[in-house]
Amino acid sequence: MRLDALIFGGGAAGLWLLDRMSRDGHHVLLLEARSLGAGQTVASQGIIHGGLKYSLSGILTKSAKNIREMPNVWRDSLLGRAAPNLTRTRLRSDCCHLWQTDTLASRAGMIGARFGLRVTPETVSDDERPEALHGVYGTVARLPEQVISPRSFVQDLATQYHDRILKIDDANGLEFDLESPGEVRAVRLISPADGTSLLLQPRQVIFTAGGGNAQLRKRAGLSADVMQRRPLHMVMVRGNLPVLNGHCLDGAKTRVTITSEVDTAGLMVWQIGGQIAEDGVKLNAMSLTEHTRAELSAVLPGVDLHDAEWSTYTADRAEGATANGSRPETIQVLCAGNVTTGWPTKLVLAPILAQEIASRATSPYFSDAFDTTPFTNWPRPAVAQLPWEDAGLRWWKSGESPSLPQRRAA
Protein backbone atom coordinates (compact mmCIF):
# COMPACT_ATOMS: atom_id res chain seq x y z
CA MET A 1 0.00 0.00 0.00
CA ARG A 2 1.29 3.45 -0.94
CA LEU A 3 1.25 6.23 1.67
CA ASP A 4 2.18 9.88 1.81
CA ALA A 5 3.77 9.44 5.23
CA LEU A 6 4.44 6.85 7.89
CA ILE A 7 4.96 8.08 11.48
CA PHE A 8 6.78 6.02 14.12
CA GLY A 9 6.00 6.90 17.74
CA GLY A 10 2.67 7.60 19.44
CA GLY A 11 3.58 10.21 22.01
CA ALA A 12 2.60 13.87 21.99
CA ALA A 13 4.75 14.69 18.95
CA GLY A 14 3.58 11.80 16.78
CA LEU A 15 -0.10 12.19 17.63
CA TRP A 16 -0.14 15.95 17.05
CA LEU A 17 1.66 15.41 13.74
CA LEU A 18 -0.80 12.65 12.77
CA ASP A 19 -3.65 15.08 13.31
CA ARG A 20 -1.96 17.84 11.31
CA MET A 21 -1.04 15.66 8.32
CA SER A 22 -4.42 13.92 8.29
CA ARG A 23 -6.19 17.29 8.16
CA ASP A 24 -3.84 18.36 5.37
CA GLY A 25 -5.15 15.46 3.30
CA HIS A 26 -2.19 13.08 3.57
CA HIS A 27 -2.59 9.32 3.51
CA VAL A 28 -0.73 8.75 6.77
CA LEU A 29 -0.45 6.02 9.40
CA LEU A 30 1.13 6.03 12.85
CA LEU A 31 2.93 2.96 14.24
CA GLU A 32 3.53 2.31 17.96
CA ALA A 33 5.51 -0.59 19.40
CA ARG A 34 4.61 -0.08 23.07
CA SER A 35 1.71 1.90 24.51
CA LEU A 36 0.66 5.31 23.24
CA GLY A 37 2.35 7.98 25.31
CA ALA A 38 4.71 5.52 27.03
CA GLY A 39 7.88 7.23 28.16
CA GLN A 40 8.16 10.98 28.12
CA THR A 41 4.56 12.00 27.36
CA VAL A 42 2.62 10.20 30.08
CA ALA A 43 5.51 10.56 32.54
CA SER A 44 5.44 14.35 32.16
CA GLN A 45 3.69 16.70 34.59
CA GLY A 46 1.38 18.06 31.92
CA ILE A 47 2.18 21.75 32.45
CA ILE A 48 1.60 23.88 29.35
CA HIS A 49 4.66 26.05 29.94
CA GLY A 50 4.86 29.61 28.72
CA GLY A 51 8.56 30.20 29.34
CA LEU A 52 8.52 31.00 33.07
CA LYS A 53 11.51 28.89 34.07
CA TYR A 54 13.60 30.33 31.24
CA SER A 55 12.97 33.97 32.22
CA LEU A 56 13.55 33.90 35.99
CA SER A 57 16.80 35.81 35.57
CA GLY A 58 14.87 38.69 34.02
CA ILE A 59 16.35 38.01 30.58
CA LEU A 60 14.11 36.81 27.75
CA THR A 61 16.16 33.80 26.63
CA LYS A 62 15.82 32.06 23.29
CA SER A 63 14.02 29.18 25.02
CA ALA A 64 11.49 31.59 26.52
CA LYS A 65 10.89 33.23 23.14
CA ASN A 66 10.29 29.85 21.47
CA ILE A 67 7.82 28.65 24.06
CA ARG A 68 5.91 31.77 25.07
CA GLU A 69 3.13 31.39 22.48
CA MET A 70 2.33 27.83 23.49
CA PRO A 71 -0.20 28.40 26.30
CA ASN A 72 -2.51 30.22 23.87
CA VAL A 73 -2.04 27.57 21.17
CA TRP A 74 -2.96 24.77 23.57
CA ARG A 75 -5.78 26.77 25.17
CA ASP A 76 -7.46 27.25 21.79
CA SER A 77 -7.31 23.50 21.12
CA LEU A 78 -8.56 22.63 24.59
CA LEU A 79 -11.52 24.96 24.04
CA GLY A 80 -12.23 23.52 20.59
CA ARG A 81 -11.40 26.79 18.82
CA ALA A 82 -8.48 25.34 16.87
CA ALA A 83 -7.21 21.99 15.61
CA PRO A 84 -6.60 19.53 16.97
CA ASN A 85 -9.84 19.51 18.91
CA LEU A 86 -8.86 18.59 22.47
CA THR A 87 -12.16 19.25 24.21
CA ARG A 88 -12.12 15.72 25.64
CA THR A 89 -8.70 16.22 27.23
CA ARG A 90 -9.05 16.50 30.99
CA LEU A 91 -7.75 19.68 32.56
CA ARG A 92 -6.10 19.24 35.96
CA SER A 93 -5.95 22.98 36.51
CA ASP A 94 -6.53 26.17 34.54
CA CYS A 95 -3.47 27.78 36.10
CA CYS A 96 -0.31 27.23 38.14
CA HIS A 97 0.62 29.07 41.34
CA LEU A 98 4.03 30.52 42.14
CA TRP A 99 5.53 31.04 45.55
CA GLN A 100 9.04 31.79 46.69
CA THR A 101 11.61 30.93 49.29
CA ASP A 102 12.67 33.63 51.75
CA THR A 103 15.74 34.83 49.86
CA LEU A 104 16.63 37.98 47.94
CA ALA A 105 17.47 35.90 44.87
CA SER A 106 14.05 34.25 44.98
CA ARG A 107 12.28 37.59 45.16
CA ALA A 108 14.34 38.78 42.19
CA GLY A 109 13.32 35.65 40.27
CA MET A 110 9.64 36.35 40.89
CA ILE A 111 10.12 39.85 39.46
CA GLY A 112 12.09 38.53 36.48
CA ALA A 113 9.30 36.10 35.64
CA ARG A 114 6.98 39.01 34.86
CA PHE A 115 8.89 40.28 31.82
CA GLY A 116 8.74 39.20 28.19
CA LEU A 117 6.09 36.45 28.50
CA ARG A 118 2.64 36.22 26.94
CA VAL A 119 1.33 34.79 30.22
CA THR A 120 2.60 36.57 33.32
CA PRO A 121 2.11 36.05 37.06
CA GLU A 122 -0.57 37.99 38.93
CA THR A 123 -0.39 38.33 42.71
CA VAL A 124 -3.30 36.75 44.58
CA SER A 125 -4.71 37.82 47.94
CA ASP A 126 -4.34 35.68 51.05
CA ASP A 127 -7.96 34.55 50.67
CA GLU A 128 -7.34 33.39 47.10
CA ARG A 129 -4.36 31.20 47.94
CA PRO A 130 -4.72 27.43 47.50
CA GLU A 131 -5.00 25.57 50.79
CA ALA A 132 -1.47 24.17 50.46
CA LEU A 133 0.00 27.69 50.25
CA HIS A 134 -1.70 29.23 53.29
CA GLY A 135 1.45 28.98 55.39
CA VAL A 136 4.10 30.03 52.87
CA TYR A 137 6.22 33.17 53.10
CA GLY A 138 5.68 36.23 50.93
CA THR A 139 3.95 36.66 47.62
CA VAL A 140 1.83 34.00 45.95
CA ALA A 141 1.01 34.55 42.29
CA ARG A 142 -1.24 32.92 39.74
CA LEU A 143 0.22 32.02 36.34
CA PRO A 144 -2.17 31.16 33.46
CA GLU A 145 -0.28 28.01 32.49
CA GLN A 146 -2.82 25.21 32.19
CA VAL A 147 -2.10 21.72 33.49
CA ILE A 148 -3.51 18.78 31.53
CA SER A 149 -3.68 15.09 32.26
CA PRO A 150 -1.15 13.73 29.71
CA ARG A 151 -2.89 10.37 29.55
CA SER A 152 -6.22 12.01 28.81
CA PHE A 153 -4.59 14.05 26.03
CA VAL A 154 -3.15 10.91 24.44
CA GLN A 155 -6.49 9.10 24.76
CA ASP A 156 -8.28 12.05 23.15
CA LEU A 157 -6.20 11.96 19.95
CA ALA A 158 -5.99 8.15 19.94
CA THR A 159 -9.79 7.96 19.88
CA GLN A 160 -10.05 10.50 17.06
CA TYR A 161 -7.51 8.67 14.89
CA HIS A 162 -8.13 5.07 15.92
CA ASP A 163 -8.33 3.94 12.29
CA ARG A 164 -4.87 5.36 11.48
CA ILE A 165 -2.91 4.00 14.46
CA LEU A 166 -1.43 0.47 14.36
CA LYS A 167 0.32 -1.66 16.96
CA ILE A 168 3.59 -3.22 15.77
CA ASP A 169 6.11 -5.76 17.02
CA ASP A 170 9.36 -3.88 16.47
CA ALA A 171 11.50 -6.89 17.40
CA ASN A 172 9.95 -9.53 15.16
CA GLY A 173 7.43 -7.79 12.93
CA LEU A 174 9.20 -4.78 11.45
CA GLU A 175 11.57 -4.65 8.49
CA PHE A 176 12.91 -1.70 6.51
CA ASP A 177 13.62 -2.12 2.80
CA LEU A 178 16.24 0.51 1.99
CA GLU A 179 17.16 2.01 -1.37
CA SER A 180 20.20 3.54 0.36
CA PRO A 181 20.96 4.89 3.85
CA GLY A 182 18.12 7.24 4.77
CA GLU A 183 16.06 6.30 1.71
CA VAL A 184 13.27 3.89 2.69
CA ARG A 185 11.67 2.04 -0.20
CA ALA A 186 9.18 0.08 1.89
CA VAL A 187 8.32 -1.03 5.43
CA ARG A 188 7.13 -4.58 6.04
CA LEU A 189 4.95 -5.32 9.08
CA ILE A 190 3.78 -8.58 10.61
CA SER A 191 0.72 -8.31 12.84
CA PRO A 192 1.48 -9.19 16.49
CA ALA A 193 -2.02 -10.63 16.70
CA ASP A 194 -2.36 -13.14 13.85
CA GLY A 195 0.80 -12.94 11.73
CA THR A 196 -0.84 -11.04 8.89
CA SER A 197 1.72 -9.23 6.75
CA LEU A 198 1.48 -5.71 5.42
CA LEU A 199 3.74 -3.93 2.93
CA LEU A 200 3.74 -0.14 3.18
CA GLN A 201 5.42 2.14 0.64
CA PRO A 202 5.60 5.63 2.17
CA ARG A 203 6.92 8.68 0.37
CA GLN A 204 8.11 9.99 3.72
CA VAL A 205 9.10 8.19 6.95
CA ILE A 206 8.97 10.22 10.16
CA PHE A 207 10.50 9.23 13.50
CA THR A 208 8.91 10.90 16.54
CA ALA A 209 9.55 8.07 18.99
CA GLY A 210 11.59 9.97 21.59
CA GLY A 211 14.29 7.65 22.90
CA GLY A 212 13.25 5.09 20.29
CA ASN A 213 14.47 7.35 17.50
CA ALA A 214 18.04 6.13 17.93
CA GLN A 215 17.22 2.51 17.09
CA LEU A 216 14.85 3.51 14.31
CA ARG A 217 17.55 5.62 12.69
CA LYS A 218 19.92 2.64 12.79
CA ARG A 219 17.34 0.54 10.97
CA ALA A 220 17.08 3.24 8.34
CA GLY A 221 20.87 3.21 7.88
CA LEU A 222 21.41 6.50 9.74
CA SER A 223 23.56 7.50 12.70
CA ALA A 224 22.12 7.29 16.21
CA ASP A 225 24.75 9.66 17.62
CA VAL A 226 22.59 12.69 16.85
CA MET A 227 20.47 12.02 19.97
CA GLN A 228 21.17 12.64 23.65
CA ARG A 229 19.40 11.69 26.87
CA ARG A 230 19.04 13.80 30.01
CA PRO A 231 17.62 11.78 32.91
CA LEU A 232 15.20 12.79 35.66
CA HIS A 233 14.33 11.07 38.94
CA MET A 234 10.78 12.10 39.81
CA VAL A 235 9.07 11.78 43.19
CA MET A 236 5.43 10.97 43.96
CA VAL A 237 3.61 11.35 47.26
CA ARG A 238 0.01 10.31 47.89
CA GLY A 239 -2.47 10.57 50.71
CA ASN A 240 -4.85 13.10 52.23
CA LEU A 241 -3.27 16.05 50.41
CA PRO A 242 -4.71 19.32 49.10
CA VAL A 243 -4.82 20.13 45.40
CA LEU A 244 -1.69 21.97 44.26
CA ASN A 245 -0.25 22.81 40.86
CA GLY A 246 2.68 25.17 40.72
CA HIS A 247 6.30 26.11 41.25
CA CYS A 248 8.36 27.22 44.22
CA LEU A 249 10.96 29.67 42.94
CA ASP A 250 14.46 29.93 44.31
CA GLY A 251 16.41 32.50 42.37
CA ALA A 252 16.71 31.57 38.71
CA LYS A 253 15.48 27.99 39.19
CA THR A 254 12.36 26.14 40.18
CA ARG A 255 13.18 24.55 43.53
CA VAL A 256 10.06 22.39 43.43
CA THR A 257 7.38 21.85 40.78
CA ILE A 258 4.22 20.06 41.92
CA THR A 259 1.21 18.84 39.96
CA SER A 260 -1.64 16.84 41.44
CA GLU A 261 -4.34 14.39 40.42
CA VAL A 262 -6.64 11.93 42.18
CA ASP A 263 -5.70 8.31 41.49
CA THR A 264 -8.06 5.40 40.82
CA ALA A 265 -8.17 4.61 44.55
CA GLY A 266 -9.39 8.13 45.34
CA LEU A 267 -6.12 9.37 46.84
CA MET A 268 -4.51 12.65 45.91
CA VAL A 269 -1.13 12.15 44.23
CA TRP A 270 1.49 14.86 43.98
CA GLN A 271 3.99 14.52 41.13
CA ILE A 272 7.15 16.39 42.12
CA GLY A 273 9.78 17.68 39.74
CA GLY A 274 11.84 20.83 39.27
CA GLN A 275 15.30 20.93 40.84
CA ILE A 276 14.39 17.89 42.96
CA ALA A 277 14.13 15.70 39.84
CA GLU A 278 17.42 17.06 38.51
CA ASP A 279 19.26 16.41 41.79
CA GLY A 280 17.53 13.06 42.20
CA VAL A 281 19.48 11.49 39.35
CA LYS A 282 22.41 11.11 41.77
CA LEU A 283 20.27 9.66 44.59
CA ASN A 284 18.61 6.32 45.24
CA ALA A 285 14.87 6.20 45.87
CA MET A 286 15.09 6.31 49.68
CA SER A 287 17.59 9.17 49.78
CA LEU A 288 15.58 11.15 47.26
CA THR A 289 12.29 10.78 49.12
CA GLU A 290 13.90 11.87 52.39
CA HIS A 291 15.45 14.86 50.61
CA THR A 292 12.07 15.69 49.06
CA ARG A 293 10.26 15.40 52.38
CA ALA A 294 12.69 17.91 53.88
CA GLU A 295 12.29 20.24 50.92
CA LEU A 296 8.49 20.13 51.11
CA SER A 297 8.57 20.80 54.83
CA ALA A 298 10.64 23.92 54.10
CA VAL A 299 8.63 25.29 51.18
CA LEU A 300 5.15 24.13 52.29
CA PRO A 301 5.19 24.47 56.08
CA GLY A 302 1.41 24.16 56.38
CA VAL A 303 1.12 20.73 54.72
CA ASP A 304 1.06 17.61 56.92
CA LEU A 305 3.01 14.76 55.27
CA HIS A 306 3.15 12.50 58.32
CA ASP A 307 0.98 9.68 56.93
CA ALA A 308 1.82 10.16 53.26
CA GLU A 309 3.20 7.39 51.05
CA TRP A 310 6.13 7.89 48.71
CA SER A 311 7.45 6.45 45.48
CA THR A 312 9.78 7.48 42.63
CA TYR A 313 10.30 6.81 38.96
CA THR A 314 12.99 7.68 36.45
CA ALA A 315 12.48 9.16 33.00
CA ASP A 316 14.77 10.11 30.14
CA ARG A 317 14.39 13.29 28.15
CA ALA A 318 15.44 12.21 24.67
CA GLU A 319 16.51 15.13 22.48
CA GLY A 320 18.63 16.08 19.53
CA ALA A 321 22.24 16.22 20.66
CA THR A 322 23.90 19.51 21.53
CA ALA A 323 27.62 20.21 21.55
CA ASN A 324 27.92 20.28 25.35
CA GLY A 325 25.00 18.01 26.25
CA SER A 326 22.88 20.87 27.56
CA ARG A 327 19.15 21.26 26.97
CA PRO A 328 18.34 22.27 23.38
CA GLU A 329 16.77 25.71 23.00
CA THR A 330 13.83 24.44 20.95
CA ILE A 331 12.66 21.57 18.72
CA GLN A 332 15.09 19.59 16.58
CA VAL A 333 14.34 18.25 13.09
CA LEU A 334 16.80 16.26 10.96
CA CYS A 335 16.21 15.21 7.35
CA ALA A 336 18.11 12.58 5.37
CA GLY A 337 16.75 11.08 2.16
CA ASN A 338 13.05 10.51 2.75
CA VAL A 339 13.51 10.09 6.52
CA THR A 340 12.70 12.87 8.99
CA THR A 341 13.60 12.63 12.68
CA GLY A 342 12.06 15.00 15.21
CA TRP A 343 12.28 15.73 18.92
CA PRO A 344 9.95 18.34 20.48
CA THR A 345 12.20 18.77 23.59
CA LYS A 346 9.12 19.37 25.72
CA LEU A 347 5.49 18.21 25.63
CA VAL A 348 4.32 21.78 25.14
CA LEU A 349 6.34 22.20 21.91
CA ALA A 350 4.61 19.33 20.07
CA PRO A 351 2.56 21.81 17.97
CA ILE A 352 5.71 23.58 16.75
CA LEU A 353 7.36 20.30 15.80
CA ALA A 354 4.25 19.17 13.92
CA GLN A 355 4.06 22.47 12.05
CA GLU A 356 7.74 22.32 11.10
CA ILE A 357 7.60 18.74 9.81
CA ALA A 358 4.27 19.21 8.03
CA SER A 359 5.53 22.36 6.32
CA ARG A 360 8.45 20.42 4.86
CA ALA A 361 6.24 17.64 3.51
CA THR A 362 5.35 17.53 -0.16
CA SER A 363 1.74 18.01 -1.17
CA PRO A 364 -0.49 14.94 -0.73
CA TYR A 365 0.05 12.50 -3.58
CA PHE A 366 -3.46 11.10 -3.44
CA SER A 367 -6.61 13.09 -4.19
CA ASP A 368 -9.11 10.52 -2.92
CA ALA A 369 -10.08 9.94 0.72
CA PHE A 370 -7.84 7.59 2.69
CA ASP A 371 -9.41 4.13 2.85
CA THR A 372 -8.45 2.58 6.21
CA THR A 373 -10.60 -0.56 5.89
CA PRO A 374 -7.52 -2.76 5.13
CA PHE A 375 -6.42 -2.12 8.74
CA THR A 376 -9.78 -2.78 10.41
CA ASN A 377 -8.61 -6.01 12.08
CA TRP A 378 -5.07 -4.86 12.84
CA PRO A 379 -4.37 -4.56 16.61
CA ARG A 380 -4.29 -1.10 18.16
CA PRO A 381 -1.92 -0.02 20.95
CA ALA A 382 -3.30 0.75 24.38
CA VAL A 383 -2.76 4.09 26.09
CA ALA A 384 0.03 4.03 28.70
CA GLN A 385 -0.87 4.32 32.38
CA LEU A 386 0.13 7.28 34.51
CA PRO A 387 3.27 6.56 36.58
CA TRP A 388 1.41 6.15 39.88
CA GLU A 389 -1.03 3.63 38.36
CA ASP A 390 1.76 1.12 37.63
CA ALA A 391 0.67 -2.04 39.47
CA GLY A 392 4.29 -3.05 40.04
CA LEU A 393 5.27 0.21 41.73
CA ARG A 394 6.24 0.09 45.41
CA TRP A 395 5.07 2.72 47.90
CA TRP A 396 6.44 3.36 51.39
CA LYS A 397 6.14 5.77 54.28
CA SER A 398 8.93 8.02 55.49
CA GLY A 399 11.54 5.95 57.32
CA GLU A 400 10.63 2.72 55.55
CA SER A 401 12.64 1.25 52.70
CA PRO A 402 11.31 0.29 49.26
CA SER A 403 11.61 -3.48 48.90
CA LEU A 404 11.80 -3.54 45.12
CA PRO A 405 13.66 -1.41 42.56
CA GLN A 406 11.54 1.35 41.09
CA ARG A 407 10.12 1.24 37.59
CA ARG A 408 11.42 3.28 34.72
CA ALA A 409 9.07 5.45 32.71
CA ALA A 410 11.18 5.72 29.59
- Contact between 97 and 245 (Cβ < 8 Å): yes
- Rounded Cα–Cα distance for residues 153 and 25 (Å): 23
DSSP 343-388: E-SSGGGHHHHHHHHHHHSPPPS--SPP--GGGTTS--PPBPPPGG
Half-sphere exposure of 158 (CA within 13 A, CB side): 22
- What pLDDT is recorded for position 59? 45
Q: Measuring CA to CA, which residue among 282, 297, 283 is closest to residue 237? A: 297
Structure letter (DSSP) for residue 328: P
For the entire predicted model, the pTM comes to: 0.93
pLDDT in tens, 63-104: 567 788 899 999 999 999 999 999 999 999 999 999 987 654
Amino acid at 387: P
pLDDT in tens, 245-285: 999 998 778 999 999 999 999 999 999 999 999 999 999 99
Residues contacting residue 158 through CB under 8 Å, at least 6 positions apart: 10, 15, 36, 165, 383
Hey, where are the domains in the chain?
2-41+153-227+320-375, 60-147+229-319
Q: Strand ranges (DSSP E) for 24-139?
A: 28-32, 91-93, 96-100, 122-123
Using 50, 70 and 90 to split pLDDT, how confident is the model at 62?
A: low
Q: Measuring CA to CA, which residue among 381, 282, 372, 364 is closest to residue 41? A: 381
pLDDT in tens, 377-393: 999 999 999 999 998 99
Phi, psi (deg, nearest 5) at residue 8? -105, 120
2-41+153-227+320-375 adopts what CATH topology? FAD/NAD(P)-binding domain (3.50.50)
- What pLDDT is recorded for position 409? 58
- Rounded Cα–Cα distance for residues 25 and 113 (Å): 41
pLDDT at position 115 over 90 = no
CATH 2.60.220 fits 60-147+229-319, yes or no: no
**Could you tell me what percentage of the chain is helix, strand and coil, using 3-state DSSP and rounding each to the nearest 5?**
30, 30, 45
- What pLDDT is recorded for position 329? 86
> Mean pLDDT for the chain?
91
